[in-house]
Amino acid sequence: MNLQTKMPTTADEFLRWNEGREGKREFVRGRVVEMMINVTRAHARLAFRLSMQLGQQLDLAKYDIGSADFGVKTSDGVRYPDVYVDRAFDTLKDLTAREPLLLAEILSASSYGQDFGEKVTEYTGLPTLRHYIILSQDEPRVWLWSRNESGGWDGPVSIAGREETVSLPALGISIDLATLYAGIES
Strand order in the sheet with 153-160: 63-67, 83-87, 100-106, 131-135, 141-147, 153-160
Provide the pLDDT for residue 18.
77
The per-residue pLDDT for range 111-156, each reduced to its tens digit, is: 888 889 999 999 999 999 999 999 999 999 999 999 999 999 999 9
pLDDT per residue over 72-93, tens digit each?
Answer: 999 888 898 999 999 988 788 8
Averaged pLDDT, 16-41: 77
Query: 53-80 as b/e, with b when 16 or more CB fall inside 10 Å?
Result: bbeeebeeeebbbebbebbbbbebbbbb
Query: What pairs with residue 176 in β-bridges?
Result: 165
Give the percent of the chain with pLDDT over 70: 95
User: Using an 8 Å Cβ cutoff, are 103 and 129 in contact?
Assistant: yes
pLDDT at site 1: 43
Share of the chain above pLDDT 90, in %: 61
Q: What is the pLDDT of residue 91?
A: 82
* Whether residue 96 has pLDDT greater than 50: yes
Q: Pick the range with the lowest mean pLDDT from 30-44, 88-102, 110-124.
A: 30-44
Provide the pLDDT for residue 5. Answer: 64
pLDDT average, residue stretch 61-74: 90
Closest CA to 58 of 170, 144, 181, 180: 170
Return d(Cα 81, Cα 64) in angstroms, integer. 14
56 DSSP 8-state letter:
H
Per-chain mean pLDDT for the chain: 89
Q: Which domains does the chain have, with CATH numbers?
A: 39-180 (3.90.1570.10)
Question: In 3D, which of 81, 85, 93, 95 has the Cα closest to residue 62?
Answer: 85
